Structure 1
Amino acid sequence: MPVFRQDSPDIPEWCELRGFAEVELGPGEAVSLVRNGPREIVVGTHGTGQVDWREGARSITEGQSVALPDGAADYTLHAVGKPAYFMRLWGDWGPRIGGVGVFRVEPNGPAKNVGDPADYPKLTGIDRHYHDYDEYWIVIEGSGLARVDNRSVPMRRGDCVATGTGHPHDIQQVNGPFRAVYLETTLRRQERVGHLWEHTHGPSLPDPERA
Structure 2
Amino acid sequence: MPVPLYATREELKNRPASEAWVDIDDVEFFTLGNADRVAEGEEPVPSEWPDPVSDPEASLHTTHNIPVARRVVPTTPKERLIVVAGEAVVESEWGRVTLKKMQWVDVPPSGAVVRNNLNPGPEGHRGQVEIARVAGHWSEAIRTAIFTFGPGRPCDYHYHDGDEYWFVFRGHFTLKYRGEDIEVRPGAILAAGMGEEHGVVDPSETFEGIGFATQLEGEGRDGHLWRTVHGDPVETR
Please classify the TM superposition score into its range, dividing by the shorter chain length.
0.7 to 0.9
**Greater C-alpha Rg:** 2
1:43 to 74, 79, 82: 82
Alignment-mate amino acid for residue 62 of structure 1: K
Q: Which residue of 2 aligns with 1:10?
A: 14
1:89 to 96, 113, 134: 134
By relative contact order (CA 8 Å, sep 6+), the higher-ranking structure is: 1
Shift of 1:79: 1.0
Structure 2 CA distance for aligned equivalents of residues 127 and 189 of structure 1: 21
Structure 2 CA distance for aligned equivalents of residues 26 and 49 of structure 1: 11
Structure 1 CA distance for aligned equivalents of residues 229 and 202 of structure 2: 25
Structure 1 CA distance for aligned equivalents of residues 84 and 204 of structure 2: 20
1:150 aligns with 2:179: yes
2:205 to 166, 172, 176: 176
Determine which structure has the larger helix proportion and give its number. 2
Query: In 2, are the aligned partners of 1:30 and 1:77 still within 8 Å (CA)?
Result: yes
Q: Which residue of 2 aligns with 1:54?
A: 93
Query: In 2, are the aligned partners of 1:144 and 1:172 still within 8 Å (CA)?
Result: no
Q: Which runs of 5+ in 2 are unaligned?
A: 37-67, 119-126
Q: Which runs of 5+ in 1 are unaligned?
A: 110-124
**Amino-acid identity (%):** 25
1:104 aligns with 2:153: no
Shift of 1:175: 4.0
Structure 2 CA distance for aligned equivalents of residues 74 and 144 of structure 1: 36
> Deviations 1:37-74 (Å, cap 9, x if unpaired)?
111111111111122212212211221111234xx321
Structure 1 segments, 4+ long, off by >6 Å, are none
1:22 aligns with 2:61: no
Instruction: Provide the alpha-carbon RMSD of the alignment.
Output: 1.6
- Say which SS state the counterpart of residue 174 (structure 1) adopts: coil
1:139 aligns with 2:168: yes
Q: Which residue of 2 aligns with 1:202?
A: 231
Q: Which residue of 1 aligns with 2:188?
A: 159
